[in-house]
Amino acid sequence: MKRSPRLIAEHEFVERKLEGLKICRTCNATLATFAEVCSADLSEVCPGFLTIEAARKEFNEKESEGKP
């Protein structure tokens, strides 16, 4: 499935913003290692996931203001 230009831009923004940063205080994951090292149960709120979602929210707010 082909991703839309907006989704590609969002993904690139999140990668630039979080590149090399520790995004989870629980498992010490970075964006690059998150999928492999996340140890949160499905019923838990994962700090790494929340960090990624905050970056996505920032992108969407900037885009709605016309400043991606």
Give, for all 68 residues of the chain, the pLDDT tens digit: 788 999 999 999 999 999 999 999 889 999 999 989 988 888 988 999 999 999 999 999 998 887 65
Q: What is the pLDDT of residue 68?
A: 54
In sequence order, the 6+-apart residues with CB closer than 8 A to the CB of 46 are: 24, 26, 38, 40
Q: Contact, 59 vs 10, CB < 8 A?
A: yes
Kindly report the pTM of this predicted structure.
Answer: 0.85
Task: Delimit the domains of the chain by residue range.
Answer: 5-64
